[in-house]
């Protein structure tokens, strides 16, 4: 019958010979360390070395780069000193630092990390007085249930709190959030602007190829394609917003639109976008000075942040917060084609009004 080992995660891994592990391209911890890698998740298999120690094998498709501070730790040496446990298992001596790079820790350290030891030691070292310190493999230890940081009595449920403390905290946060959203802000609809940009990419050096601006009355202030000054192709984002290089060939450059955009923004009290950080990181460059950019930033509000706060208080089971998610949750229908700047701007305005029903003057 094929031998298996059950890990603390509940997974069972097979025992293989070194030749079988090599045929599957599995890597040992020693090889991973030499390659500046570390495992992500459980071992894929194990074998028992001639000295009785356990050798774990890891799938190369489930590894990540190791922290730089352990790249140049000494290579694992052949054990020059060994110790035999009561059951006859032979384990080798290694330094505390080397053990940590292999994922081996003392029982006390694992307890501090909220793990219980369930298997025999895998290595050891000696104190100055020659007393023995045993190391245990973290991969085979069992994770202890973490306790609530508030009461310390029950197991964590969400936000590091047990269910009882979480629900009490949620009630307080929900009341505060509802009061914030229900407040009367007395904003003039014509001075509240929603805007959205479509870009050639997701980085700061990418260019604007579409801009839409809408006021709180639903009046379209600007909706135009923009011809990028430097970028010729944008295949990846083209698949999202559908704007091709041919579509913007006869459109104005951003520099041609700057005076009009500045005038529009100057007449606004608030500028709102869904995910304002991306839009602001590109639109700010129409201003020359840091002072002007800071003045613009103070006018901005993020609809995405407000929606995230809302679902954390009313729907903590929800994990996604795209504009599409917000519209679906709040019962808002799309006008136009999703992911175009005009449709996203209208969607953002509707989401904002759902979240803040008393935002505008009567």
Which of 45-49, 66-70, 308-312 shows the lowest per-residue confidence on average (mean pLDDT)? 66-70
Alpha-carbon gap, residue 241 to 22, rounded angstroms = 47
Q: Do strands 270-273 and 300-302 pair parallel, antiparallel, or not at all (unpaired)?
A: parallel
Three-class DSSP category at 108: helix
**Tens-digit pLDDT profile for residues 203-233:** 888 999 999 999 999 999 999 999 999 999 9
Contact 247, 233 (CB under 8 A): no
CA angle (241, 243, 246) in 5-degree steps:
170
**Sole residue written with tokens 């306790």:** 147
Question: What are the residues facing 192 on neighbouring strands?
Answer: 270
Alpha-carbon gap, residue 207 to 209, rounded angstroms = 6
Which of 13-22, 37-46, 66-75, 262-271 shows the lowest per-residue confidence on average (mean pLDDT)? 66-75
Alpha-carbon gap, residue 317 to 161, rounded angstroms = 15
pLDDT value at residue 76: 46
Nearest Cα to Cα of residue 8 among 38, 42, 40: 42
Burial of 255 from C-beta contacts in 10 A (0-12 / 13-18 / 19+): exposed
Alpha-carbon gap, residue 235 to 110, rounded angstroms = 49
The conformation of residue 158, written as its DSSP 8-state character, comes to B
Nearest Cα to Cα of residue 102 among 142, 74, 81, 133: 74
Contact 360, 189 (CB under 8 A): yes
The residue among 52 and 215 whose pLDDT is bigger is 215
Identify the H or E element spanning 195. Answer: strand 192-199
CA angle (308, 310, 312) in 5-degree steps:
70
Mean of pLDDT values over 236-245: 92
Alpha-carbon gap, residue 268 to 191, rounded angstroms = 4
Q: Quickly state the pLDDT bin for 31 (edges 50, 70, 90).
A: confident
pLDDT value at residue 3: 82
Contact 19, 49 (CB under 8 A): no
* Per-residue pLDDT at 67 exceeds 80: no
The residue among 140 and 273 whose pLDDT is bigger is 273
Q: Quickly state the pLDDT bin for 249 (edges 50, 70, 90).
A: very high
């Amino acid at each position: 019958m094929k031998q298996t080992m059950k890990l603390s995660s509940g997974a069972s891994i097979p025992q293989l010979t070194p030749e079988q592990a090599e045929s599957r391209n599995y890597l040992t911890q020693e090889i991973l360390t030499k390659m500046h890698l570390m495992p992500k998740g459980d071992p894929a298999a194990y074998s028992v070395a001639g000295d009785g120690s356990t050798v774990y094998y890891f799938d190369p498709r489930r590894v990540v780069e190791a922290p730089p501070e352990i790249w140049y730790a000494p290579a694992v040496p052949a054990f020059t000193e060994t110790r035999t446990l009561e059951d006859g298992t032979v384990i080798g001596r290694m330094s505390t630092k080397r053990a940590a790079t292999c994922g081996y820790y003392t029982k006390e350290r694992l307890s501090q990390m909220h793990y219980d030891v369930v298997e025999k030691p895998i290595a050891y070292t000696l104190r100055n007085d020659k007393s023995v310190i045993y190391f245990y493999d973290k991969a085979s230890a069992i994770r202890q249930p973490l306790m609530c940081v508030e009461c310390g009595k029950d197991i964590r449920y969400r936000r590091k709190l047990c269910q009882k403390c979480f629900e009490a905290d949620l009630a307080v946060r929900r009341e505060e959030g509802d009061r914030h959203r229900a407040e009367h802000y007395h904003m003039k609809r014509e001075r509240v602007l929603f805007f959205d940009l479509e870009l050639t990419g997701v980085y700061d050096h990418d260019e604007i190829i579409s801009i839409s601006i809408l006021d709180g009355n639903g009046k379209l202030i600007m909706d135009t394609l923009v011809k990028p000054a430097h970028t010729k192709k944008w295949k990846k984002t083209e698949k999202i917003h559908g704007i091709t290089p041919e579509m913007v060939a006869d459109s104005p450059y951003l520099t041609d639109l700057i005076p009009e955009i500045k005038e529009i923004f100057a007449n606004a009290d608030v500028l709102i976008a869904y995910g304002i950080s991306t839009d602001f990181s590109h639109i700010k460059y129409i201003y020359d000075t840091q002072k002007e950019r800071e003045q613009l930033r103070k006018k901005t509000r993020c609809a995405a942040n407000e929606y995230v706060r809302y679902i954390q208080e009313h729907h903590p089971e929800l994990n996604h917060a795209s504009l599409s998610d917000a519209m679906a949750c709040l019962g808002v229908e799309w006008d136009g084609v999703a992911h175009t700047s005009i449709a996203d701007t209208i969607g953002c305005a509707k989401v904002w009004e759902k979240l803040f029903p008393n935002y505008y003057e009567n």
